[in-house]
Protein backbone atom coordinates (compact mmCIF):
# COMPACT_ATOMS: atom_id res chain seq x y z
CA UNK A 1 0.00 0.00 0.00
CA UNK A 2 1.53 3.26 -1.07
CA UNK A 3 1.47 6.23 1.28
CA UNK A 4 0.86 9.63 -0.26
CA UNK A 5 2.47 12.70 1.21
CA UNK A 6 1.42 16.32 0.77
CA UNK A 7 3.66 18.18 -1.62
CA UNK A 8 6.18 20.33 0.13
CA UNK A 9 5.70 24.08 -0.16
CA UNK A 10 8.24 25.89 -2.21
CA UNK A 11 11.03 27.61 -0.29
CA UNK A 12 9.83 31.02 -1.51
CA UNK A 13 6.36 30.45 -0.05
CA UNK A 14 7.81 29.47 3.33
CA UNK A 15 10.00 32.57 3.40
CA UNK A 16 7.08 34.77 2.40
CA UNK A 17 4.85 33.35 5.13
CA UNK A 18 7.59 33.75 7.75
CA UNK A 19 8.08 37.39 6.80
CA UNK A 20 4.41 38.33 6.89
CA UNK A 21 3.93 41.17 9.37
CA UNK A 22 2.05 40.46 12.50
CA UNK A 23 -1.42 41.93 12.66
CA UNK A 24 -1.33 45.43 14.07
CA UNK A 25 -2.88 45.86 17.49
CA UNK A 26 -6.38 47.25 17.52
CA UNK A 27 -6.47 50.94 18.23
CA UNK A 28 -8.02 52.05 21.45
CA UNK A 29 -11.37 53.69 21.11
CA UNK A 30 -12.25 57.20 22.23
CA UNK A 31 -12.60 55.85 25.80
CA UNK A 32 -9.45 53.77 26.06
CA UNK A 33 -8.04 52.54 29.37
CA UNK A 34 -5.83 55.60 29.85
CA UNK A 35 -8.68 58.03 29.26
CA UNK A 36 -10.97 56.08 31.56
CA UNK A 37 -8.35 56.16 34.32
CA UNK A 38 -7.76 59.87 33.75
CA UNK A 39 -11.50 60.59 33.85
CA UNK A 40 -11.87 58.52 37.00
CA UNK A 41 -8.99 60.41 38.63
CA UNK A 42 -10.59 63.76 37.81
CA UNK A 43 -13.98 62.67 39.12
CA UNK A 44 -12.42 61.32 42.30
CA UNK A 45 -10.54 64.57 42.93
CA UNK A 46 -13.71 66.62 42.40
CA UNK A 47 -15.65 64.34 44.74
CA UNK A 48 -12.91 64.61 47.39
CA UNK A 49 -12.94 68.41 47.10
CA UNK A 50 -16.71 68.52 47.52
CA UNK A 51 -16.55 66.25 50.57
CA UNK A 52 -13.86 68.38 52.24
CA UNK A 53 -15.80 71.55 51.37
CA UNK A 54 -19.01 70.07 52.85
CA UNK A 55 -17.22 68.91 56.02
CA UNK A 56 -15.64 72.33 56.59
CA UNK A 57 -18.96 74.14 56.23
CA UNK A 58 -20.85 71.47 58.17
CA UNK A 59 -18.47 71.77 61.11
CA UNK A 60 -18.86 75.56 61.09
CA UNK A 61 -15.13 76.18 60.73
CA UNK A 62 -15.84 79.06 58.31
CA UNK A 63 -18.76 81.45 58.42
CA UNK A 64 -21.28 80.98 55.56
CA UNK A 65 -20.68 84.58 54.48
CA UNK A 66 -17.10 83.66 53.58
CA UNK A 67 -17.63 80.07 52.43
CA UNK A 68 -21.19 78.88 51.79
CA UNK A 69 -21.90 75.18 51.64
CA UNK A 70 -22.07 73.25 48.34
CA UNK A 71 -25.82 72.95 48.82
CA UNK A 72 -26.19 76.72 49.18
CA UNK A 73 -24.16 77.26 46.00
CA UNK A 74 -26.34 74.76 44.15
CA UNK A 75 -29.50 76.48 45.42
CA UNK A 76 -28.12 79.82 44.20
CA UNK A 77 -27.38 78.28 40.80
CA UNK A 78 -30.92 76.85 40.52
CA UNK A 79 -32.44 80.12 41.71
CA UNK A 80 -30.45 82.06 39.10
CA UNK A 81 -31.87 79.82 36.35
CA UNK A 82 -35.53 79.87 37.37
CA UNK A 83 -38.43 82.14 38.22
CA UNK A 84 -38.84 82.60 41.97
CA UNK A 85 -40.52 84.93 44.51
CA UNK A 86 -38.57 88.07 45.24
CA UNK A 87 -38.86 87.23 48.96
CA UNK A 88 -40.29 84.33 50.96
CA UNK A 89 -44.08 84.61 50.98
CA UNK A 90 -44.15 87.34 48.32
CA UNK A 91 -46.46 87.13 45.30
CA UNK A 92 -44.01 89.02 43.09
CA UNK A 93 -42.07 86.66 40.82
CA UNK A 94 -38.68 87.63 39.43
CA UNK A 95 -36.79 86.09 36.55
CA UNK A 96 -33.41 84.60 37.46
CA UNK A 97 -30.97 87.22 38.72
CA UNK A 98 -31.26 90.84 37.62
CA UNK A 99 -34.15 89.77 35.32
CA UNK A 100 -31.90 87.41 33.35
CA UNK A 101 -31.24 83.72 33.76
CA UNK A 102 -27.69 82.70 34.54
CA UNK A 103 -27.23 81.12 31.12
CA UNK A 104 -28.33 84.41 29.53
CA UNK A 105 -25.63 86.22 31.49
CA UNK A 106 -23.13 83.65 30.22
CA UNK A 107 -24.26 84.04 26.60
CA UNK A 108 -23.95 87.83 26.82
CA UNK A 109 -20.35 87.51 28.04
CA UNK A 110 -19.55 84.94 25.34
CA UNK A 111 -20.87 87.30 22.68
CA UNK A 112 -18.57 90.07 23.92
CA UNK A 113 -15.66 87.62 23.99
CA UNK A 114 -16.43 86.46 20.46
CA UNK A 115 -16.51 90.01 19.07
CA UNK A 116 -13.41 91.17 20.95
CA UNK A 117 -11.28 88.11 20.19
CA UNK A 118 -12.62 87.94 16.63
CA UNK A 119 -11.51 91.51 16.01
CA UNK A 120 -8.12 90.72 17.57
CA UNK A 121 -7.73 87.76 15.20
CA UNK A 122 -8.72 89.86 12.18
CA UNK A 123 -6.18 92.57 13.05
CA UNK A 124 -3.47 90.64 14.89
CA UNK A 125 -2.72 87.94 12.30
CA UNK A 126 -2.22 90.25 9.27
CA UNK A 127 -0.26 92.74 11.36
CA UNK A 128 1.87 89.94 12.83
CA UNK A 129 2.64 88.61 9.35
CA UNK A 130 3.56 92.10 8.22
CA UNK A 131 5.74 92.74 11.27
CA UNK A 132 7.43 89.37 10.93
CA UNK A 133 8.39 89.87 7.29
CA UNK A 134 9.16 93.59 7.08
CA UNK A 135 10.95 96.36 8.96
CA UNK A 136 7.72 97.21 10.78
CA UNK A 137 8.54 94.49 13.32
CA UNK A 138 11.59 96.39 14.56
CA UNK A 139 9.57 99.61 14.76
CA UNK A 140 6.34 98.39 16.37
CA UNK A 141 7.36 95.45 18.57
CA UNK A 142 8.32 97.61 21.61
CA UNK A 143 4.84 99.20 21.54
CA UNK A 144 3.28 95.75 21.29
CA UNK A 145 5.25 94.56 24.32
CA UNK A 146 4.21 97.70 26.22
CA UNK A 147 0.54 97.03 25.46
CA UNK A 148 0.88 93.38 26.50
CA UNK A 149 2.33 94.34 29.88
CA UNK A 150 -0.58 96.63 30.84
CA UNK A 151 -3.20 95.14 33.20
CA UNK A 152 -6.79 95.63 31.96
CA UNK A 153 -7.84 97.61 35.03
CA UNK A 154 -5.21 100.21 34.13
CA UNK A 155 -7.17 101.52 31.17
CA UNK A 156 -10.78 100.41 31.74
CA UNK A 157 -11.58 103.86 33.15
CA UNK A 158 -10.11 105.57 30.10
CA UNK A 159 -12.10 103.33 27.76
CA UNK A 160 -15.29 104.19 29.62
CA UNK A 161 -14.48 107.90 29.20
CA UNK A 162 -13.88 107.41 25.48
CA UNK A 163 -16.66 104.98 24.58
CA UNK A 164 -19.16 105.16 27.47
CA UNK A 165 -20.38 102.38 29.74
CA UNK A 166 -22.04 100.34 27.01
CA UNK A 167 -20.74 97.28 25.20
CA UNK A 168 -18.30 99.29 23.07
CA UNK A 169 -15.88 99.92 25.93
CA UNK A 170 -16.12 96.27 27.05
CA UNK A 171 -15.40 94.95 23.57
CA UNK A 172 -12.45 97.33 23.21
CA UNK A 173 -11.04 96.07 26.52
CA UNK A 174 -11.36 92.45 25.42
CA UNK A 175 -9.79 93.33 22.08
CA UNK A 176 -6.81 94.98 23.77
CA UNK A 177 -6.43 91.94 26.03
CA UNK A 178 -6.47 89.45 23.13
CA UNK A 179 -4.59 91.40 20.45
CA UNK A 180 -0.98 91.27 21.81
CA UNK A 181 -0.78 87.46 22.29
CA UNK A 182 -2.14 86.81 18.79
CA UNK A 183 0.18 89.32 17.10
CA UNK A 184 3.26 88.19 19.03
CA UNK A 185 2.62 84.49 18.38
CA UNK A 186 2.23 85.26 14.68
CA UNK A 187 5.54 87.15 14.67
CA UNK A 188 7.22 84.28 16.50
CA UNK A 189 5.83 81.77 14.01
CA UNK A 190 6.99 83.78 11.00
CA UNK A 191 10.50 84.12 12.40
CA UNK A 192 10.60 80.38 13.04
CA UNK A 193 10.06 79.45 9.38
CA UNK A 194 13.16 77.81 7.91
CA UNK A 195 14.97 80.00 5.41
CA UNK A 196 15.83 77.11 3.10
CA UNK A 197 12.11 76.44 2.57
CA UNK A 198 11.49 80.06 1.61
CA UNK A 199 14.55 80.17 -0.65
CA UNK A 200 13.53 76.92 -2.35
CA UNK A 201 10.11 78.32 -3.22
CA UNK A 202 11.58 81.61 -4.41
CA UNK A 203 14.11 79.78 -6.58
CA UNK A 204 11.24 77.98 -8.28
CA UNK A 205 9.80 81.33 -9.37
CA UNK A 206 7.15 81.90 -6.69
CA UNK A 207 6.14 85.47 -5.98
CA UNK A 208 6.26 87.06 -2.53
CA UNK A 209 2.50 86.61 -2.10
CA UNK A 210 2.68 82.95 -3.13
CA UNK A 211 5.55 82.36 -0.72
CA UNK A 212 3.54 83.94 2.08
CA UNK A 213 0.38 81.91 1.44
CA UNK A 214 2.00 78.58 0.48
CA UNK A 215 4.94 78.40 2.90
CA UNK A 216 4.97 81.06 5.62
CA UNK A 217 1.30 80.97 6.63
CA UNK A 218 0.95 77.14 6.88
CA UNK A 219 4.22 76.93 8.83
CA UNK A 220 3.04 79.72 11.14
CA UNK A 221 -0.48 78.37 11.67
CA UNK A 222 0.35 76.20 14.74
CA UNK A 223 1.85 79.22 16.51
CA UNK A 224 -1.13 81.36 15.51
CA UNK A 225 -3.61 78.85 16.94
CA UNK A 226 -1.62 78.67 20.18
CA UNK A 227 -1.74 82.47 20.36
CA UNK A 228 -5.51 82.42 19.84
CA UNK A 229 -5.89 79.93 22.70
CA UNK A 230 -3.78 82.10 25.00
CA UNK A 231 -5.63 85.25 23.89
CA UNK A 232 -9.05 83.68 24.47
CA UNK A 233 -8.06 82.59 27.96
CA UNK A 234 -6.65 86.01 28.76
CA UNK A 235 -9.76 87.75 27.43
CA UNK A 236 -11.97 85.41 29.46
CA UNK A 237 -10.09 86.27 32.65
CA UNK A 238 -10.65 89.94 31.79
CA UNK A 239 -14.42 89.60 31.47
CA UNK A 240 -15.09 90.55 35.10
CA UNK A 241 -13.03 93.75 34.73
CA UNK A 242 -14.80 94.48 31.44
CA UNK A 243 -18.24 94.13 33.05
CA UNK A 244 -17.65 96.08 36.26
CA UNK A 245 -19.57 99.08 34.88
CA UNK A 246 -23.04 98.32 33.52
CA UNK A 247 -22.16 94.67 32.95
CA UNK A 248 -25.69 93.30 33.19
CA UNK A 249 -26.39 91.00 31.45
CA UNK A 250 -22.99 89.37 31.82
CA UNK A 251 -21.56 86.60 33.98
CA UNK A 252 -18.70 88.82 35.15
CA UNK A 253 -21.05 91.68 35.93
CA UNK A 254 -23.33 89.34 37.88
CA UNK A 255 -20.40 87.99 39.91
CA UNK A 256 -19.24 91.53 40.72
CA UNK A 257 -22.73 92.71 41.66
CA UNK A 258 -23.39 89.63 43.79
CA UNK A 259 -20.13 90.26 45.65
CA UNK A 260 -21.19 93.83 46.39
CA UNK A 261 -24.49 92.50 47.77
CA UNK A 262 -22.67 89.87 49.90
CA UNK A 263 -24.34 86.98 48.02
CA UNK A 264 -21.38 84.65 48.43
CA UNK A 265 -23.19 81.55 47.18
CA UNK A 266 -24.11 83.30 43.92
CA UNK A 267 -20.54 84.58 43.52
CA UNK A 268 -19.16 81.05 43.82
CA UNK A 269 -21.81 79.76 41.40
CA UNK A 270 -20.71 82.39 38.88
CA UNK A 271 -17.05 81.49 39.44
CA UNK A 272 -17.77 77.82 38.79
CA UNK A 273 -19.68 78.66 35.59
CA UNK A 274 -16.87 80.96 34.41
CA UNK A 275 -14.28 78.24 35.03
CA UNK A 276 -16.27 75.50 33.30
CA UNK A 277 -16.96 77.75 30.32
CA UNK A 278 -13.23 78.51 30.05
CA UNK A 279 -12.40 74.79 30.04
CA UNK A 280 -14.96 74.10 27.31
CA UNK A 281 -13.66 77.02 25.24
CA UNK A 282 -10.12 75.71 25.48
CA UNK A 283 -11.20 72.16 24.58
CA UNK A 284 -13.03 73.53 21.55
CA UNK A 285 -9.94 75.44 20.40
CA UNK A 286 -7.76 72.35 20.92
CA UNK A 287 -10.16 70.32 18.76
CA UNK A 288 -10.04 73.02 16.10
CA UNK A 289 -6.25 72.92 16.22
CA UNK A 290 -6.27 69.17 15.59
CA UNK A 291 -8.45 69.71 12.54
CA UNK A 292 -6.53 72.63 11.05
CA UNK A 293 -2.98 71.48 11.81
CA UNK A 294 -3.08 67.65 12.00
CA UNK A 295 0.63 67.53 11.16
CA UNK A 296 1.67 69.31 14.36
CA UNK A 297 4.15 67.18 16.27
CA UNK A 298 4.39 64.70 13.39
CA UNK A 299 6.49 66.63 10.86
Question: Has residue 53 been placed in a domain?
Answer: no
Q: State which H helix or E strand residue 290 sits in.
A: helix 264-292
pLDDT in tens, 151-187: 877 888 899 899 988 899 999 999 999 999 999 999 9
Question: Has residue 284 been placed in a domain?
Answer: yes
Burial of residue 224, with CB atoms counted within 10 A of its CB: 0-12 exposed, 13-18 middle, 19 or more buried: buried
Domain assignment of residue 154, given as a range = 102-292
pTM: 0.81
Number of domains the chain is built from: 1
**Is pLDDT above 70 for 45?**
yes
* Mean pLDDT of the region 39-57: 90
Question: Has residue 182 been placed in a domain?
Answer: yes
C-beta separation of 293 from 225 below 8 A: yes
pLDDT in tens, 112-149: 999 999 999 999 999 998 898 888 888 998 999 898 88
Question: Has residue 235 been placed in a domain?
Answer: yes
Average per-residue pLDDT in the chain? 84
Question: Has residue 110 been placed in a domain?
Answer: yes
CATH assignment at residue 210: 1.10.3720.10
Question: Has residue 51 been placed in a domain?
Answer: no
Round to whole Å and give the CA distance between 151 and 135: 28
Closest of 163, 161, 124 to residue 140, by C-alpha: 124
Question: Has residue 123 been placed in a domain?
Answer: yes
Amino acid sequence: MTQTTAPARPQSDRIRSDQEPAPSPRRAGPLGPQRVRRLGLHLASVAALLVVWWLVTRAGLVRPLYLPSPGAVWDAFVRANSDHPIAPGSDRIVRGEQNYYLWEHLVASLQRIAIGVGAAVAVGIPLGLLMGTTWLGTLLEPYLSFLRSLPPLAYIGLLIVWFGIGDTSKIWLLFLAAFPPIAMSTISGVRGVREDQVNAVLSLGASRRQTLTAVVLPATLPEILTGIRVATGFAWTTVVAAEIANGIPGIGGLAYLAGEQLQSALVIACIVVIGLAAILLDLGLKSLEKVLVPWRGKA
